Amino acid sequence: MAESIKKVEATREFRMKQTMPRLTAAEKSEILKKFHPDYKGGSTRALAVGPSKGSKVPHEFADIFESYSLITPENFNISKIDFDVDVLIIGGGGAGAAAALSAQENGARVLLATKLRFGDANTMMAQGGIQAADKANDSPAIHYLDVVGGGGFYNVPELARVLVIDAPGIIKWLESLGVMLDKEKDGSLVGIHGGGTSRKRMHSARDYSGGEIMKVLRDEVTNRNVEVIEFSPVIELLTDGRTCTGAVLYNIETEEILIVHAKTVILATGGSGRLHVQNFPTTNHYGATADGLVIAYRAGCRLLYMDTIQYHPTGAAYPEQILGQLVTEKVRGLGAHLCNREGNRYIYELETRDVESAAIIRECLERNLGVVTPSGQHGVWLDSPVIDITNGAGTTVKQLPAMYRQYMRFQIDITKEPILVYPTQHYQNGGIVINESGETDVENLYAAGEVSGGVHGRNRLMGNSLLDILVFGRRAGAAAAKKSKFVPPGRLAIEHVKKYHKELQEVGVEKVRFSPMMLPDYRRKEQKKSPVPVV
Amino acid sequence: MDKDMPEQEHVTIYIMGKKYEVPKDLTIMRALEYAGYRYIRGCGCRGGFCGACATVYRKKDDYKLKVALACQNVVEDGMYLAQIPFYPADKASYEVEKLTPTADAILSRYPTIYRCVSCNTCTKSCPQEIQVMDYVQSMLRGDIAKAADLSFDCIMCGLCASRCPAEIPQYNAALLARRLYGKYIAPPAKHLADRVQEVAQGKFDAEIEKLMKAEPKTIRELYDKRDIEP
């Protein structure tokens, strides 16, 4: 590794004068088909049951869909109601918090239930920023074109439209809440490029962008006395057979079951990195186990684009202790080069994430020009010292304090040494089918954020997920609150789970797997026990 | 996946006083999992951003208490470890719309700040190496901008408050300072307000509609030929 770093240093001056060509559409398509993990043969299978039966999804997802409920529906007691509210929000990340605020503003009695602490979510970890077309040389239409092009033209047009058209209003809302966005002296927002952007519209809060937003939203939800229940994941939805009428909470500390009757329910349960598709490491938080997808699927929600996972091109490949953790795209946005073992650049750094990931895999596994660490990890260099040389000394520390600190903990000064990176499982591009109000296939059930699919097509651009959770969180919150005023008290039942179990039995799925997963298990193999039904 | 480490040297650690042998290169979090713990509390983002895994430790034969984030720091031989997954610090409730960005806005809600004895224990107990005492002193002086800037990287783990002899909930006061700065002190973005107005007037609707209805071939061409800001 040390020898290769010397080569990186030696080529730096040359690289800084070099212009890398962008790939043509045909080149992008070819590299994706050959090297992106989504296209790896044998990594998916067709779902055997449920509303999207026949759709191909990665095995790790198929396993949790083709699983039995943690509840035994035949003898489950729903007679005692513990909470009776207008709007139940499941998930305490950015989408859930935004939904809670907007539902309450629209006059609803809100309950927010979350699996871990309020704020334990991928939102908290989002570093790079949030997109909005608010500069004179930019427009929501230009943003739209970037979004659908980045998504491979698979985006649901109506969803992409509201994403870009609501964006400036969302940033204004954050400003009014007191989120410390990066600004120039005159108050204008700092904007940089992200992969696949055609305008510098990536706004940020240093490299704690999501953290800053999450902390402020959480503070606001707390100030407004919205009821929040932590450490209580939802393990099943309740339906009257047709519409959603509530949910079953499970207190993971006391193992108590709580029944919620709600007029409308919003799923904001986030993503699924902890499923470790194809054994990739992940940037995601501990609770990203796709619980919302599973319970929504059982209740009758169709899925969209679940065969496509976003691998973030720059996950940490060294040191081993932070393997797979995020090295924000902002590092490339600020000018750092990607280069191979010999110190040569091999791709334009701001292609979309799917293309960048595929190109790193090609460089390492096909061309054999990557670096291999002592523990056998492959990686390419991200030449971070270029940032300060280009933008002035101190830029890294000021703009990337989290990155700088993370590496300094392992005695690596990223202003002086390059970082070794390799793709890591980052984002669930697909999810539950929704419309512009966040409505799902099941009446009175809404979804917002990473759990939903269609907004980003088959590949999300950087800075559009923080935007997505706030746009659709607020939309779902408002729609669910308004709808709740016209919903009569519903019958609480769990027949849909019985029906789903029957389907599983019919296709011969053995009763050995149970879901939702709730938490991953990283103990040694001999310590692990298989999950068992809780009720 | 967090991979099992290859066979290697082990160190002795004490998890809440109980002895375990673990591979020497593991983070504290992975070491606890190796020892057989499955986290419910005390584990959040696993990436140094959420403050769930605040850890206090002491090394054998050393009186000094040290702090770390379990997910970001590696075990050392002879560590006596305890995590503090929750700290019951006071949090003021306020309507941010009704505040003014003055020292009083913070001090009246967090009057324990007046009790700061400048012992600097908060700074020493910050796993993010934030100058906590300096930002508390900035609040006393009414320098909200400074307090906001210094506290920006706070992950609200609560270790500062846990060690403060004056019982100041520093991290909650700091969040208020940042919100005051972001809302009232940083100048508003004029281009943003203008754009919000243009959106409300429907200025972009027709153009987006056209893109939504465009033939696949047309939109691909538009995308491939779009000009990119240098």
Question: At B138, which CATH number?
Answer: 1.10.1060.10
Residue A111 pLDDT more than 80?
A: yes
- Domains of chain B: total: 3
Written as six digits, the tokens of B121 are 């224990």
Q: B222–A180: do the CB atoms touch at under 8 Å? A: no
* Distance, CA of A416 to chain centre: 31
> In B, which residues are within 8 Å of A171 by CB distance?
189, 192
Residues B71 and B128 grouped into a single domain: no
pLDDT (average), residues B157-172: 97
Q: Residue A2: phi, psi to the nearest 5?
A: -60, -40
Each residue's pLDDT tens digit, B135-149: 999 999 999 999 999
B163 falls within a domain: yes
Instruction: Kindly identify which residue of chain B lies nearest to residue A402, measuring between CA atoms.
Output: B153
| A332 noted as active-site residue | yes
Question: What CATH number was assigned to the domain covering residues A2-35+310-425?
Answer: 3.90.700.10
Each residue's pLDDT tens digit, A450-461: 999 999 999 999
B180 falls within a domain: yes
Q: Residue A195: phi, psi to the nearest 5?
A: -55, 125
Q: What's the CA gap between A232 and A248, in Å, rounded?
A: 9
Residues B101 and B181 grouped into a single domain: yes
Give which of A311, A327, A307, A329 is closest to A319, Cα–Cα: A327
pLDDT score of B193: 98
- Written as one letter, the residue type at A202 is M
| DSSP sequence for A357-403 | HHHHHIIIIIS--SEE-TTS-EEEEEETHHHHHHH-TTHHHHH-HHH
Q: What's the CA gap between A78 and B139, in Å, rounded?
A: 52
Q: A188–B207: do the CB atoms touch at under 8 Å? A: no
Give which of B28, B42, B17, B143 is closest to B76, Cα–Cα: B28
Written as six digits, the tokens of A352 are 């979309």
Q: What is the CA radius of gyration of chain A?
A: 23
pLDDT score of A530: 60
pLDDT score of B7: 64
Question: Taking phi first (over 0 means left), then psi (-120 to 50 degrees means alpha), and beta for anything else, what does residue A512 get?
Answer: alpha
Q: B91–A222: do the CB atoms touch at under 8 Å? A: yes
CB contact, 8 Å: B206 with chain A? no
User: Is-contact A44 A308, C-beta < 8 A?
Assistant: no
| A312 noted as active-site residue | yes
Among B155, B192, B211, whose Cβ lies nearest the Cβ of A172? B192
User: Is-contact A386 A337, C-beta < 8 A?
Assistant: yes
pLDDT score of A532: 65
CB contact, 8 Å: A169 with chain B? yes
pLDDT (average), residues A396-405: 93
Q: What's the CA gap between A47 and A37, in Å, rounded?
A: 19
Which of B41, B58, B83 marks a domain boundary?
B83
pLDDT (average), residues B85-95: 95
pLDDT score of A534: 67
Q: Which of residues 111-140 of A touch B (CB under 8 A)?
A: 116-117, 119-120, 124-125, 132-137, 139-140
B118 vs chain A: nearest CA distance in angstroms?
25
Burial class (CB in 10 A: 0-12, 13-18, 19+), A128: buried
Q: B96–A401: do the CB atoms touch at under 8 Å? A: no
Q: Residue A244: phi, psi to the nearest 5?
A: -80, 130
pLDDT (average), residues B30-37: 95
B64 falls within a domain: yes
Q: Say whether pTM exceeds 0.90.
A: yes
pLDDT score of B2: 45
Structural domain including B180 reads 96-185
Q: What's the CA gap between B33 and A287, in Å, rounded?
A: 16
pLDDT score of A525: 82
Q: Which of residues 379-418 of A touch B (CB under 8 A)?
A: 401-402, 405-406, 409
Q: How many CB pairs under 8 A join A and B?
A: 234
pLDDT score of A241: 87
Residues B78 and B102 grouped into a single domain: no
Residue B1 pLDDT more than 50?
A: no
Q: How much helix, strand and coil, in percent to the nearest 5, is found in chain B?
A: 40, 15, 45
Instruction: Kindly identify which residue of chain A lies nearest to residue B183, measuring between CA atoms.
Output: A178
Residue B5 pLDDT more than 60?
A: no
B61 falls within a domain: yes
The fraction of chain A above a pLDDT of 70, given in percent, is 99
pLDDT score of A375: 85
Residues B77 and B105 grouped into a single domain: no
A490 vs chain B: nearest CA distance in angstroms?
33
Residues B116 and B177 grouped into a single domain: yes
User: Is-contact A448 A430, C-beta < 8 A?
Assistant: no
User: Is-contact A136 B202, C-beta < 8 A?
Assistant: no
Residues B111 and B42 grouped into a single domain: no
Residue B30 pLDDT more than 50?
A: yes
Sequence-distant (6+) residues with CB within 8 A of B179 are A177, A178, A179, A216, A219, B96
Each residue's pLDDT tens digit, A200-217: 999 999 999 999 999 999
Helix (H, G, I), strand (E, B) or coil at A57: strand
B206 falls within a domain: yes
CB contact, 8 Å: A54 with chain B? no
Residue B4 pLDDT more than 80?
A: no
**Of A261, A332, A345, A362, catalytic:** A332
B230 falls within a domain: no
Each residue's pLDDT tens digit, A515-527: 999 999 999 888 8
B61 vs chain A: nearest CA distance in angstroms?
24
Residue A357 pLDDT more than 70?
A: yes
Residues B116 and B176 grouped into a single domain: yes
Q: A523–B33: do the CB atoms touch at under 8 Å? A: yes
B75 falls within a domain: yes
Q: What's the CA gap between A129 and B181, in Å, rounded?
A: 19
Orientation angle between helical segments A291-299 and A495-506, nearest 10 degrees: 90
pLDDT band at residue A528 using 50, 70 and 90 as cut-offs: confident
Each residue's pLDDT tens digit, A41-54: 999 999 999 999 99
B55 falls within a domain: yes
pLDDT score of B8: 77
Residue A533 pLDDT more than 90?
A: no
Written as six digits, the tokens of B56 are 């206090």
CB contact, 8 Å: B23 with chain A? no
Q: A276–B1: do the CB atoms touch at under 8 Å? A: yes
A521 vs chain B: nearest CA distance in angstroms?
7
Q: Which of residues 235-294 of A touch B (CB under 8 A)?
A: 252-253, 276, 279-281, 283, 285-286
pLDDT (average), residues B62-80: 95
CA distance to A18, A283, A340, A350, per residue, from A21 (Å): 10, 29, 17, 11
pLDDT score of A531: 60
Among B38, B211, B228, whose Cβ lies nearest the Cβ of A144? B211
**Of A36, A274, A298, A312, catalytic:** A312
A287 vs chain B: nearest CA distance in angstroms?
7
Question: Taking phi first (over 0 means left), then psi (-120 to 50 degrees means alpha), and beta for anything else, what does residue B38 get?
Answer: beta
Which of B83, B112, B144 marks a domain boundary?
B83
Q: What's the CA gap between B35 and B20, in Å, rounded?
A: 7
Which of B35, B54, B83 marks a domain boundary?
B83
Pairing of strands A130-131, A68-69: unpaired
Residues B177 and B107 grouped into a single domain: yes
Question: What CATH number was assigned to the domain covering residues A73-308+429-484?
Answer: 3.50.50.60
Residues B171 and B100 grouped into a single domain: yes
